[in-house]
Amino acid sequence: MNQEDLKNDLSINAIREKIFKIKEMYNPNLVSNLSKEMYDLYLIRESICKQLLKLTSEKDMDIGKIKDFIKIKIKENKEKLKDETDESEAKLIKLNIKEWEEFL
């Protein structure tokens, strides 16, 4: 394993650690007791974590591909935000963008 491979593996492991820290924040028995805003945040984080966990588990994955995936998701959400007229939906999209950006 060369230095580049090691750096790549460490970067991917850092993303996985972040995913597991986020997942540890939520007790499955208490999720239903969250406020609407906190439950929306939970759903967004859960979705992002699932997507990234799947991506980081793929064979021969590199950190560049993961970052590109995250940038695409941010861009898609920004496009959705431009067309969104409903204020509550716009808030959710902004929150989604913010959560994706946390992984860059």
- The pLDDT score that the predictor gives to residue 1 is 75
Write out the chain's pLDDT in tens, 104 residues.
Answer: 799 999 999 999 999 999 999 999 998 888 889 999 999 999 999 999 999 999 999 988 999 999 999 999 999 999 999 999 999 999 999 999 999 999 99
- The pLDDT score that the predictor gives to residue 84 is 95
- The pLDDT score that the predictor gives to residue 88 is 94
Q: Considering the entire predicted model, what is its pTM?
A: 0.92
Please state the length of the chain.
104
Cα gap 49→51, rounded to integer Å: 5
